[in-house]
Chain A
Amino acid sequence: MPSKTGLAVLLLLLFGPASLALKLQGGSAQLDEGPTLPAPVSALLVRSGLRPVGVLSPLNTPQYQIALYQPAQPAGCLAMLHVLPMSANGEAGALLRQPAVGRLGGQLFVLRGQLSGDFPSARHWWFGLLNQLRRLAGLAVRDNRVYAIASSAPCLDLRSLDWASLRP
Chain B
Amino acid sequence: MPGSRARSGFFSALAALAAANALSRPLHLALQDGDLWGAVSQGLALNPAVLSALLLGLGGLARGQDEPPLSDADLGFGLILLLLLLLPSATVSWLVLAVLAGYLCRDRQLSPAQQAGAAILLLCALREPLSSTVLDVFSVPLLALDARLAALLLSAWSPGAYAQGNLILQADEVRLVVLKGCSSLLNLSYALLFWYAASRTLYRRFPRSVWYAGLAVGGAVVALNVLRLVYMANSRAGYLLLHEGVGQYWLSSLSLLLVVGATCGGIWYAEQDRFGRAAALAIRPG
Interface residues of A (CB under 8 A from B): 4-5, 7-8, 11-12, 15-16, 18-20, 22-26, 29, 58-61, 63-64, 89-95, 97-100, 120, 125, 128-129, 131-132, 135-138
Contact = CB atoms under 8 A, between A and B. Distances in A.
B137 A132 contact: yes
Given A91-B179, A95-B177, 6 more contacts: A23-B24, A64-B177, A89-B136, A91-B166, A132-B133, A132-B137
B231 interface: no
Given A91-B139, A94-B166, A136-B129, A23 B6 contact: no
Contacts of A92: 166, 177
15 contacts: A5-B1, A18-B86, A19-B82, A20-B20, A22-B87, A22-B88, A23-B93, A61-B177, A63-B179, A89-B137, A89-B140, A90-B139, A93-B140, A120-B140, A138-B87
Interface in B166-180: 166-167, 169, 172-177, 179-180
Interface residues of B, number: 53
A129 B10 CA distance: 36
Contacts of B180: 91
Contact of B17 (A12, A60, A95): A12
Contacts of A136: 91-92, 95, 129, 133
Contacts of A26: 25, 88-89
A25 to B, nearest CB: 7
Main secondary structure of the interface of A (DSSP, over half): helix
A58 B85 CA distance: 44
B272 to A, nearest CB: 43
A135 B88 CA distance: 11
B283 interface: no
Contacts of A19: 17, 21, 82, 85-86, 93
A98 to B, nearest CB: 6
B139 A11 contact: no
A118 to B, nearest CB: 12
B13 interface: yes
A85 to B, nearest CB: 15
A137 B92 contact: yes
A145 B72 CA distance: 48
Contacts of B17: 12, 15-16, 19-20
A12 B139 contact: no
Interface in B114-164: 129, 132-133, 136-137, 139-140, 143, 164
Nearest to A61: B177
B239 interface: yes
Nearest to B11: A8
A13 to B, nearest CB: 10
A2 to B, nearest CB: 11
